Amino acid sequence: MSADGTILVTGGSRGIGAATATLLADQGHRVVIVDIAPEPLAGTSAILWPAPFDVASESAVVTGVAEIEQAHGPITGLVNAAGVFGKMHRIERVRMEQWDREVNIDLRGTFLVARSVGVAMAQRRHGAIVNVASVAGMTSGPIHAYTAAKAGVIQITQTLAAEWGRAGVRVNAVSPGFTRTAMLEAGIASGALNKDLLARPTAMNRLVEPIEVAQAIAWLLSPASSGVTGINLPVDAGYIAGTTWAAYGGLPDAPIS
């Protein structure tokens, strides 16, 4: 779907976006990364868009996408990986500025970039988009704005898939579980997050690696998934499958061999 054009990766300077941009570039694609805090990726041919790119700003997105297409040609693949994590609070302490920030970047930003890129893809009858949602958008947690925003990302993925299906544009989502990015590692190192508590509910008893999310995204962008649109693919080491087992005493260990 994208071998003949440019793939744009938002939030490409770090974490899942960086792993995805690196993998796609290694596969031979022309990849442009944008980020609000742009930093080049070492050891990859992915091209850094040097100006800060804020997915939550409509004017910045519209202008930025036009300038990128002028410089690097039509965008035929889009990965919406820019995002911020939810702040954990009891409901009484949720600050609405924080709510607005999370919803504006995670949901509004995904919609703005998908629209700016996808309308032109639909006119050209060619393209694939992958939105990075989260298992948080499929479950509940004390991260009220984040869960709502990610549920919204899963929903608009379906709407855009239906909107552009006849125009040859596929739109899908991936929903990572807890993924071992630098930020998550820092949270574990600081003691704010507990690695065992994050891993234990998953069927596989572990965190997800950024490359594992990247591989799912690369598949959804590629012709290998040509019949797939409107789905939300969890890449969660079995978090959703395993999480209800706590009510039955926990998940079983592997049998002794």
Ligand X SMILES: NC(=O)c1ccc[n+]([C@@H]2O[C@H](COP(=O)([O-])OP(=O)(O)OC[C@H]3O[C@@H](n4cnc5c(N)ncnc54)[C@H](O)[C@@H]3O)[C@@H](O)[C@H]2O)c1
- Residues binding ligand X (CB under 6 A): 10-11, 13-17, 35-37, 53-56, 81-84, 105-106, 109, 132, 134, 176, 178-179, 181, 183-184
Note if 248 is an active site residue: no
C-alpha to C-alpha distance for 115 and 209, rounded to whole angstroms: 29
Catalytic residue among 111, 146, 178, 239: 146
Minimum distance from CB of 142 to ligand X (Å)?
16
Minimum distance from CB of 168 to ligand X (Å)?
26
In the complex with ligand X, which residue's Cβ is closer, 35 or 69? 35
Minimum distance from CB of 83 to ligand X (Å)?
2
Minimum distance from CB of 1 to ligand X (Å)?
21
In the complex with ligand X, which residue's Cβ is closer, 24 or 105? 105
In the complex with ligand X, which residue's Cβ is closer, 69 or 106? 106
In the complex with ligand X, which residue's Cβ is closer, 53 or 164? 53
Give the contacts of 190 (CB within 8 A, at least 6 positions apart): none
In the complex with ligand X, which residue's Cβ is closer, 49 or 122? 49
Minimum distance from CB of 255 to ligand X (Å)?
30
* DSSP character string of the chain: --TTSEEEEETTTSHHHHHHHHHHHHTT-EEEEE-SS--PPTTS-PEE--S---TT-HHHHHHHHHHHHHHH--EEEEEE----PPPP--GGG--HHHHHHHHIIIIIHHHHHHHHHHHHHHHHT-EEEEEE--GGGTS--S-HHHHHHHHHHHHHHHHHHHHHGGGTEEEEEEEE-SB--HHHHHHHHHTSS-HHHHHTTSTTSSPBPHHHHHHHHHHHHSGGGTT--S-EEEESTTHHHHGGGGGGT-PPPPPP-
Return the active site residues: 146
